[in-house]
Structure 1
Amino acid sequence: MFALAAVGSVFFPGLFLLIKHFLIRLIGWTEGDAAVVSTRLLSSLQAIMASSVGCVVISSCSDIMEDRHWLTDRYIVFASPYFAYDIYAMFLCYRHKLQVKGHEETGATIVGFLHREFLMVLHHIFMVTFCFPASVWWRQGRGDYFQAVLFLAELSTPSVSLGKVLIQYNKQHTLLHKVNGVIMILTFFSCRVLLFPYLYYAYSRYASIRVYEAPLAAPWQCNLGAALLWPLQLYWFTLICRRAVTQFNKTSTGTFPAGQHKHQQ
């Protein structure tokens, strides 16, 4: 287990540095631009890996509570360091935006980053401090199917990452951004907003109980995780939809303000 965590601790920041170096040396991008795109590429890669593991595990589970697959715990341990790496990568992106605006780096940069990305940082910390032990130890080898379904939440990440890159470089008026926006809304809604209701529905079918009884029968760790994570997904989905409507209105009127745009969380 510790060996896998060590591999993950090297793999994610190491690949980030490798991609950034490639973009700087071979394409000629600035360090800030290379850091932003490298962060998004690595987020998408992690999402593809997690989703692939989820599909493999789901397809192997006929008994959704008792069947096990060796990939489940191993990927959780390997990918956990990603959340610590991603906090630092997000900070680099935030610092780059300040530098573009001409702000000098000060101690207030960290405070500003934590204020702006508070929910995302809190989400990542929660994933490591609560979801990791809940997934590896507390569930006691049961429910690989449900864990794999949680992996599929990452299916929305590539479109979210691409959207951030397009907005960063003022490409929000392009056809690619519009098509990606539709994909992002659909995947985010189906893979994140509907995720927790589906988990309770699947458990109710397995236990032969009514859906509204599932939270009473489920372990407290599952209910706590859902109670804390689902409202975040609903909040972020609301932001996505609100910004999609705003962008549609700008497209209809033909106005595209110059300058930086707020990134969606």
Structure 2
Amino acid sequence: MLKAFICGAVVFPGLYYTFRKILKSALTHWSDGDVVLVSERLVSAIHAVVSTASGVIVVTSCRDVITDSHWLVNGFALFGAPYMAHDIYAMYMSYFHNRRSKDPSGAPSGHSLQTVRDFLLKDWMMVLHHLTLLLVFLPIVLFFRGGLGDFFIGCLFIAEFSTPFVSLGRILIQLGLDNTMLHKINGAIVLLSFFTCRILIFPFMYWMYGRRFGIPLYKAPFHMPLHCNLGNLVILTPQIYWFNLLLKKAKRLYLRQKRGPGDGHKDRPKTD
């Protein structure tokens, strides 16, 4: 299994730097901020595709949701772990270049502790989410489950299904295609896939757990061990927060497009 970890530590940073080099060479008019943001999103989408595929294989292979196991659970957990650490770095690089491009006179010319602090304050929830998965849930998956519950870990892998569409939306905005039909369709898919795979997946897991023990859905949380409920709550809470942000963003875009370009920029939202 150490090979899976080493492979992930090579693949994700390697893809990131490869994309940066290709984009910088192919799109010479792009700024460094454009390049690092799109590179980050492409790597994120690839990780999500592999995660979703692994989750589907695990879920469809486990007939008993408690005792059945699949090697991909530990394998992908180790392979994907370096991505969590790498993505924090990639997000920081995107923040750094975006900040410098927006305020070239006031933003620092180089990296500093203040820049890192500002980044952590801005994206603290995403950073905390990544660190929690890496430092808390990874050890639980590998060492403290006793080989039980691979089905539910597979469900959590599938939660990444919405990520490629989120990344595509950011890339379309970067390309200036945020007013196209493709962006609108992708936005609808983002909302549907995020709600289904990151929020409804939790009632589904409780329902499957209840089926296993012959109890109704509403009794399943009271039958499940407390630490499992707490773990689900820790993962679910930021998903609800981010889904609320997606809804607000979709509402802003809808209202902006409804007003049309002839209404001027007086009431245009400051952030898209």
Aligned to 2:83: 82
Q: Counterpart in 2 of 1:189? A: 195
Distance in 2 (CA, whole Å) between partners of 1:159 and 1:242 is: 17
SS at match of 2:147: coil
Residue 211 of structure 1 and its aligned partner are, at CA, apart by: 2.2
Indicate the residue corresponding to 2:8 in structure 1.
Answer: 8
CA distance in 2, matches of 1:197, 1:168: 35
**CA deviations over 1:200-251 (Å, ceiling 9, x no partner):** 1111111112323322322333212111121111111111011101110111
Q: Is the 8 A contact 1:5 1:79 kept in 2?
A: yes
Equivalent positions of 1:22-41 (< 5 A) are 22-28=22-28, 29-41=30-42
Q: For residues 57 and 25 of structure 1, do their structure 2 counterparts lie closer, same or farther at Cα, with a shift above 3 Å needed?
A: same
**Structure 2 counterpart of 1:97, one-letter code:** N
Give the drift of 1:141.
Answer: 0.9
Which shifted more, 147-156 or 30-39? Answer: 30-39
**8 Å Cα contact 1:167/1:261 also seen in 2:** no
Post-superposition offset of 1:187? 0.2
Separation in structure 2 between the aligned mates of residue 223 and residue 45 of structure 1, nearest angstrom? 30
Distance 1:260 1:168, change over 3 A: farther
Which string of whole-angstrom CA distances, capped at 9 and with x for unpartnered residues, describes residues 62-85 of structure 1?
A: 112122111111111111111000
- Paired with 2:50 and 2:179, the residues of 1 have a C-alpha distance of 30
Kindly provide the amino acid, as one letter, of the partner of residue 147 in structure 2: G
Gap runs ≥5 in structure 2: none
Distance, in Å, in 2 between the alignment partners of 1:20 and 1:220 is 45
Distance in 2 between residues matched to 1:116 and 1:171, nearest whole Å: 26
Q: Normalized against structure 1, the TM-score is what?
A: 0.93
Map Cα deviations across residues 141-177 of structure 1 (whole Å, 9 max, x no partner).
1111111111110000011111122334443212111
Q: CA RMSD in A?
A: 2.0
The residue that corresponds to 1:93 in the other structure is 94
Question: Residue 17 of structure 2 aligns with which residue?
Answer: 17
Confirm whether residue 110 of structure 1 aligns to residue 116 of structure 2: yes
- Identity across aligned pairs (percent)? 38
| TM-score of the two chains, using structure 2 as the length reference | 0.90
CA contact (8 A) 1:168 1:261 kept: no
Count matched residues: 263
Aligned 8 A contact 1:7 1:78 in 2: yes
The one-letter code of the counterpart of 1:192 is R
What residue identity is the alignment partner of 2:86?
Answer: Y
Secondary structure of the 2:178 match is coil
Please name the residue that 1:42 is paired with: 43
More displaced stretch, 183-192 vs 169-178: 169-178
Match of residue 150, structure 1, among 127, 150, 156: 156
Of 170-179 and 13-22, the range deviating more from structure 2: 170-179
Deviation at 1:124, TM superposition (A): 0.4
1:229 corresponds to:
235
1:114-263 correspondence runs (5 A): 114-255=120-261, 257=265, 262=271
Instruction: Assess, with a 3 A threshold, how the Cα gap between structure 1 residues 54 and 108 changes in structure 2: closer, same or farther.
Output: same
Q: Distance in 2 between matches of 1:257 and 1:161?
A: 26
Q: Which stretches in structure 1 are left out of the alignment for 5+ residues?
A: none
